[in-house]
């Protein structure tokens, strides 16, 4: 079994006092990491699923790096619509600098996809990346099971405004993924709320932000009063997934 920690939508600033919707995003991330440590939660891998910076400065990624380094575990990251890829790739290791990155740990392969579109809020996975994904899954002989990570929600979540800015070609993504029984789940950020759904035999998990949340099932954006959150996934050698969102009360 391998234990995965997913943290998403940290929205960090270079300024230690930087806030969004009244939330100091740096302090909020520190509270998430402290909660994880105090709870004695074991994790083997960290997945950072986009919108890691908000001001798109190189310094904001240096702040993130300094906060996660004490975890001492392999870390993989992908960009969201608020990220500056050039700085992200410079400061963080194991990023999707060619649109896709993968790694194998135990019986599991982790595939991270870049759904960010320069200058846009909505997401799109480039056709070239979908082709690389298809080829990778087709020739996979190193892992029995696959978990895919992307920033934007690849399916509709029931909020009209959010559904307009998810992965615009989510159908094309699942056309590829549904060909391979080894694909067990897709995880995403972007939605700032908890989501659990199924597309055929593939589970889709959306994870709350480490700072603020959006109200679910709304026509326009509304801020929820839920606290910061993160997700843990226990990935069994059998392919079974146990997962839970942890909320960090203010």
Nearest to 4 by CA among 167, 141, 199, 205: 205
- Give the phi and the psi of residue 231 in degrees, each rounded to 5: -120, 140
**Cβ neighbourhood burial of 21 (10 Å; 0-12, 13-18, 19+):** exposed
Residue extents of the structural domains in the chain: 2-247
- The reply to whether the predicted model has a pTM over 0.85 is yes
Q: Residue 136: pLDDT band by 50, 70, 90 thresholds? A: very high
Q: Residue 250: pLDDT band by 50, 70, 90 thresholds? A: low
Q: What is the pLDDT of residue 196?
A: 97
Residue carrying structure tokens 């969102």: 245
189-222: pLDDT as tens digits:
999 999 999 999 999 999 999 999 999 999 999 9
Q: Per the structure block, which two tokens stand in for 92?
A: 């963080």
Helices and strands in the chain: count of H runs, count of E runs: 6, 13
Residues in the chain: 250
Percent of the chain with pLDDT over 90: 92
219-245: pLDDT as tens digits:
999 999 999 999 999 999 999 999 999
Q: What is the pLDDT of residue 137?
A: 97
Q: What is the pLDDT of residue 51?
A: 97
How far is it, in rounded angstroms, from Cα 98 to Cα 4?
23
Question: Please, which residues have CB within 8 angstroms of residue 102's CB and are 6 or more apart in sequence?
Answer: 109, 110, 111, 112, 136
CA distances, 53 to each of 14, 28, 42, 112 (Å): 9, 13, 26, 18
What separation, in Å, do the N-terminal and C-terminal C-alpha atoms of the chain show?
Answer: 32
Q: What is the pLDDT of residue 42?
A: 87
Hey, which CATH number is domain 2-247, 3.30.70.1350, 1.10.10.10, 1.10.760.10, 3.60.21.10?
3.60.21.10
Q: Per the structure block, which two tokens stand in for 180?
A: 């391979």
Q: What is the mean pLDDT of residues 114-133?
A: 96
């Amino acid at each position: 079994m391998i234990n995965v920690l997913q943290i998403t939508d940290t929205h960090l600033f270079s300024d230690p006092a930087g806030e969004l919707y009244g939330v100091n995003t740096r302090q909020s991330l520190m509270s998430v990491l402290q909660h994880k440590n105090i709870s004695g939660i074991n994790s083997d891998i960290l997945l950072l699923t986009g919108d890691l910076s908000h001001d798109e400065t190189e310094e904001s990624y240096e702040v993130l790096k300094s906060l996660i380094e004490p975890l001492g575990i392999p870390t993989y990251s992908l960009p969201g619509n608020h990220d500056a890829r050039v700085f992200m790739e410079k400061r963080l290791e194991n990023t999707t600098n060619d649109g896709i990155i993968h790694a194998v740990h135990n019986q599991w392969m982790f595939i991270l996809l870049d759904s960010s579109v320069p200058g846009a809020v909505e997401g799109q996975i480039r056709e070239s990346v979908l082709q690389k994904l298809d080829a990778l899954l087709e020739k996979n002989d190193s892992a029995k099971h696959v978990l895919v990570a992307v920033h934007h929600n690849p399916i509709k979540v029931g909020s009209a405004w959010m559904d307009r800015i998810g992965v615009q070609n989510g159908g094309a993504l699942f056309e590829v993924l549904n060909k391979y029984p080894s694909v067990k789940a897709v995880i995403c950020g972007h939605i700032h709320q908890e989501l659990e759904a199924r597309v055929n035999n593939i589970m889709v998990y959306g994870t709350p932000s480490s700072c603020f949340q959006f109200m679910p099932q709304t026509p326009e954006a509304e801020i929820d009063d839920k606290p910061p959150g993160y997700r843990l996934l226990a990935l069994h050698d059998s392919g079974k997934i146990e997962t839970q969102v942890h909320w960090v009360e203010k």
